[in-house]
Structure formats: structure tokens, C-alpha cells
Amino acid sequence: MIRLMKSAALAVAVSLSATSAFAADNVRLTGSGASFPAPIYLTWFKDFSKNTAGVTVDYQSKGSGAGVQDFLNKTVDFAASDSAMSEADMAKVGEGVQLLPMTAGEIVLAYNLPGNPKGLKLPRDVYSNIFLGKITKWNDPQIVKANPGMKLPDLPITVVVRADSSGTNAVFTKHLSAINADFKKDLGEGNTVNWPATDKFIKSPKNDGVTATVRQTPGAIGYIEYGFAKLAKVDFAELENKAGQYVVPNAESGAEALAAVKMPENLIAHLPDPEGAKSYPITSYTWMIFRKDNGSPEKAKAMRDMVEYGLTHGQKIADSMGYIPLPPSVVDEVRKASQSIQ
């Protein structure tokens, strides 16, 4: 009888041990936030989940502001934001916060003009004043002057802006505020701003919403991440940078912009108006946000492994998807900082 009881106890112990091992091997990570890096993140997470036994990563693209709020509400394991995270929000996280720049991208001005003219050039004061509501026609003399030989229509400019709380919005308005004193005074910068209240300003949610609205609206212009423009095959402008050069977005002009700023210890670096003759003017890192204390060794390890995947395999596909591979020095700093995720 005693032997039978011992055998039963042993069976239960083995069963419980197998169950806990099974549980440990099946980790589900949930994240939400920025739409700016969503195409590359979703590709990473799908491949990482496929190639990492027992780990699944789900990510919902809903805007940086919503992602940070989900993180604060503890409804997700990690968040993503193009505007990093405010010190006030970080102070609300008792477990500690680790921000990691995981990729970088460029914000382009996508446009939709009759005849699909390529290579539209927009001077700094012109594109900032378009989004201030001061330049309202495509055949405005300042646009015509910058584009000799291009047939520009007598058509109102429809300005497409973000409807949601958006890190792309924060990056874009930080840049416009840096180059146009009137924009800084009248609209300012942030995840949300009060755009001019006219029927020529249309609001759309997320990067894909702005992209779709520009494609469907003759005379439209809107700001989106370069990868969305590549994917949707929409036309986008050459922008005048700080050095007075017209630059197209690509991996090279983005890397030039990143090289113009040194990454600080907290890994939060902004580039509102980068130096350099070849730098694309609207370039930004984008961050993943983690808790330092996750209460689960298995989840913490899965997150560290996910970060490592992004720093290795993930960087190799960045250029092809319209993102900028991280500089090697930044990869080293991110890898070191990721060890605080416990």
C-alpha cells in the first residue's frame, strides 16, 4: 500500500514537473504601439516565433500613444514608440523601464498629383508652410520656382495628417518646429497637435491610413514612414535639408543623418534637423519599451532573445523594407542594455 502511494506521488510529481516544463517552454509575448516600424516588426516577430520553439510574439499596430498606454496599464509585455517615452510616464512604472532603439526610419512626404510627376522638390520653408496651412495650391510660385519644367496643376493641396496619438506625428512636428518658428509658435510638437481647422486638412489613423488616403485623394500630401511609401508605390518628394541640398530617402541618406548624432547613455536620441550635406532631414530612431522586472524568467529570456534576433537577423532586412540598419556601435549598446530585462 505504501509502495503504491509512493508510486502515485511520484507519478503526480513527474506529471507536475512535465506540466511546468511545458508551461515554461510556451511563452506568449504581447506588444502594441507604433505603426511606423510595424511592417518590419511584424516580419521579425513572425520569423522569430517560427524559429524559436515555444515562443510566440503578437504585436498590434495602433499608434505610439496607445502602445505606451497599454504598457502603463500592463495589458502588454512590451510597447513600441517613435517618440520614446516621457520621464513622467517612465516614473509610473514601478518595475523600471528599459528603452531600446531597435530600428530607424525616414518620414517622407507622399503626394498624389495628376500625371504622377516624379522628383518633386520641396524647400524647407515650403513644406513646413504647407502643414501650417499657409501654402494651399500646388501651383504656388514657391513650388513652381523649385521645380522648373514640372507641370504643376492649379489644384488645392489636401493635407493628410494623423488622427491618432502618434510617434510619427511627434517626430514630424519636432522637425517642423525646428525649421519653422511660426510652426513652433502656432502648432508646436507632440504625439497630437491641433492642426488647422479647414476642410483641406484630413485626418487618418496610423501610417497605413495616411498612405491609403493620399493614394485615394488627388492633390493630397501626407507624412508616412518610407517603408509604407515603398510598399504602396506612392510618389514622395525630395526634401531640402539643413545644408540646403535636396535629398531622397534611402538607407544611405538615413545613415548619414544617424551618424550626425551621438547616442546618449539612456539610448534616447532625437534628430530634429540633422547636420550633413547628404543627410535626409526627417530621420528617427524608434524604440521598444520593456519592464526591467518582468516577474517571469521565461518571459524575460524570450524578450532578450527577441531583441537579439532584431539586432542580428532583423537588421539584415531593414534596407529592403525601407528602414535604416542600426549603426554597429548602437547595436552594441542596445545588446548591453537588453541584459537589464529580467
To the nearest whole percent, how much of the chain has pLDDT over 90?
92
Q: Is the pLDDT of residue 20 over 70?
A: no
Q: How confident is the model at residue 19 (pLDDT cuts 50, 70, 90)?
A: very low
Weakest mean pLDDT among 12-21, 107-116, 120-129, 173-182: 12-21
Q: Is the pLDDT of residue 22 over 70?
A: no
Q: Is the pLDDT of residue 35 over 90?
A: yes
**Which residue has cell 511609401?**
229
Q: Is the pLDDT of residue 248 over 90?
A: yes
Q: How confident is the model at residue 25 (pLDDT cuts 50, 70, 90)?
A: low
Q: How confident is the model at residue 175 (pLDDT cuts 50, 70, 90)?
A: very high
> How many residues belong to the chain?
342
Q: Domain 27-103+285-340 has what CATH class?
A: alpha beta
Residue 278 has a pLDDT of 97
Q: Which residues contact 295 (CB under 8 A, 6 or more apart)?
A: 95
Burial class of 30 by CB neighbour count within 10 A (0 to 12, 13 to 18, 19+): middle
Q: Which residues contact 39 (CB under 8 A, 6 or more apart)?
A: 227, 228, 231, 321, 322
Q: How confident is the model at residue 328 (pLDDT cuts 50, 70, 90)?
A: very high
Question: The domain 106-259 belongs to what CATH superfamily?
Answer: Periplasmic binding protein-like II (3.40.190.10)
Q: What is the pTM of this model?
A: 0.90
CA distances to 43, 178, 278, 307 from 337, in Å: 23, 30, 30, 10
With residues binned 3-state (H G I as helix, E B as strand, rest as coil), the percentages for the chain, rounded to 5, are: 40, 20, 40
Q: Reduce the DSSP state of residue 340 to 3 states and report it.
A: helix
Report the pLDDT averaged over residues 168-188. 98
All cell numbers assigned to 108? 517622407
**Where, residue-wise, is CATH 3.40.190.10 in the chain?**
27-103+285-340, 106-259
Report the pLDDT averaged over residues 315-334. 97
| DSSP letter assigned to residue 94 | T
Residue 6 has a pLDDT of 40
Structure-derived torsion over alpha carbons of residues 108, 113, 117, 123, reported in degrees to the nearest 10 = -50
Residue type, 196: P
Report the pLDDT averaged over residues 321-328. 96
Residue 11 has a pLDDT of 41
| Residue 208, H or E segment | helix 206-216
